[in-house]
Amino acid sequence: MIKSNIDTIRANFPILHQEVNGKPLVYFDNAATTQKPKQVIEALNQYYLKDNANIHRAAHTLASRATDYFENTRRTIQAFINANEPEECIFTKGVTESINLVAQTWGRANLNAGDEVIVTTMEHHSNIVPWQMICDEKGAKLRVVPINQNGELIMEAYEEMLSANTKLVACVWVSNALGTINPVEKIINLAHQVGAKVLLDGAQACSHLNVDVQKLDCDFLAISSHKLYGPTGVGVLYGKREVLETMPPYHGGGEMIKEVTFEKTTYNDIPYKFEAGTPNIGDVIAFRYALDYLTVLGKENVADYELQLLNYFVNGVNEINKQTNDAIKLIGAAKSKVAVQSFVIKNMHPFDVGMMLDAKGIAVRTGHHCTQPLMQFFELEGTIRVSFALYNTFSEIDTLLQALTSIAKYANR
Ligand code: PLP
């Protein structure tokens, strides 16, 4: 379905149609941020051309229009993740802010000395540092689930780690550096058996996998719009109503209050209790068009197509390795993966490979991918990472494989 419509799909992404360093752009840095379809760009333009007003606060027409559109996005994300109600979806700046919100509110209210927070070896820094900060403050302990050489969690170790001391499991659903899909249903189920809450970092999962927070039964899910073909600066924190209602507010200010006197302030209901100040209205409104775009294409179709691209790439690398004495080493070979692949090339620094590819118009990510502990596990300074999206093509992968063949031959000389 995606393959037969690829030209129409690509026509929706104006940015793809340009040359970089004299070559057609090949954009394989989708795990860092996805490109935006023109439906999203036009919605953003439309907002500033016709609808711009502050929301929730005024009686005039533009304000009520802007408010309606803003709240429409909340209903769309509710449906997208199958939350029980829109009020369980809080707008934030992104996954990073969503996680910090939980650490600073739920964490501050619920963690005490001797309590434990469990994360995994493959976390993004944004799901490590906020927990380190609050654990340090509260005298709680951060524990880390180990992984194997394929980049999969060692679930027996996780099971052994769980105890009555475990208060929270904060786990990445899909690894941004390896593409590993973690067994989150099992992780959540086991955590709940010891009474712990579970936060899922959904940054990489939500564009590839179907999300049903009620079925998963996670307590929190963190999402970034810009990884989902939407604008930057917008994210969502999903939380179960009964959990969100017990949490103290995050930022103080306008919108998050019911009544303010100098003696006492009473706080608004969820979600507004956690949405102090003027939010990123235009980008939230435009985000809805990204969610609709993905929903119309069908996530199963997208994921299926992306995995075909991944297999094509991995097979191509295996062919290059036959000619070059295994010059390319793939990092991350989990059985269950999305279309993200890290690799290194012997005798080559990842950054140099990135520059060589850029000279051919190919955009990839190099470095530690904000997962330094994971890189330490693999004893690497960094990797080269390609990540595929719904608008990428097999012929773009041919271009990459051709470039990698020359680099691998050079490395193996
Ligand atoms: N978690 C994962 C797995 C990510 O890949 C990223 C971004 O790369 C983040 C968290 C942070 O997301 P953001 O920068 O949108 O807050």
pLDDT at 58 (0 to 100): 76
Residues of the chain with CATH 3.40.640.10: 53-296
Give the pLDDT band (50/70/90) at residue 399: very high
Distance 10 CA to ligand 1 centre (A): 25
Distance 100 CA to ligand 1 centre (A): 12
The model carries a pTM of: 0.98
Asked whether the predicted pLDDT for residue 78 surpasses 80, the reply is: yes
Residues whose beta carbon lies within 6 Å of some atom of ligand 1: 94-96, 124, 126-127, 172, 176, 201, 203-204, 224, 226
Residue 213's Cβ-count burial label (10 Å; 0-12, 13-18, 19+) is buried
Q: Which atom of ligand 1 is nearest to the CA of 96?
A: 16
pLDDT at 269 (0 to 100): 97
Among protein residues, the one whose CA lies closest to atom 14 of ligand 1: 96
Q: Of 358, 366, 357, 334, nearest to 407 (Cα)?
A: 357
Q: Of 244, 250, 252, 251, nearest to 269 (Cα)?
A: 244
| Correct CATH for 3-28+298-411 of 2.40.37.10, 3.90.1150.10, 3.40.1190.10, 3.90.1640.30 | 3.90.1150.10
CB 50 within 8 A of CB 181: no
Q: Each residue of 123-171: pLDDT tens digit?
A: 999 999 999 999 999 999 999 999 999 999 999 999 999 999 999 999 9
Fold classified for 53-296 = Aspartate Aminotransferase; domain 2 (3.40.640)
pLDDT at 413 (0 to 100): 84
370 belongs to the catalytic site? yes
Q: Which atom of ligand 1 is nearest to the CA of 94?
A: 16
Q: Identify the helix (H) or strand (E) that includes residue 292.
A: helix 281-297
Distance 397 CA to ligand 1 centre (A): 25
No. of helices (H) and no. of strands (E), the chain: 15, 17
pLDDT at 189 (0 to 100): 98
Residues of the chain with CATH 3.90.1150.10: 3-28+298-411
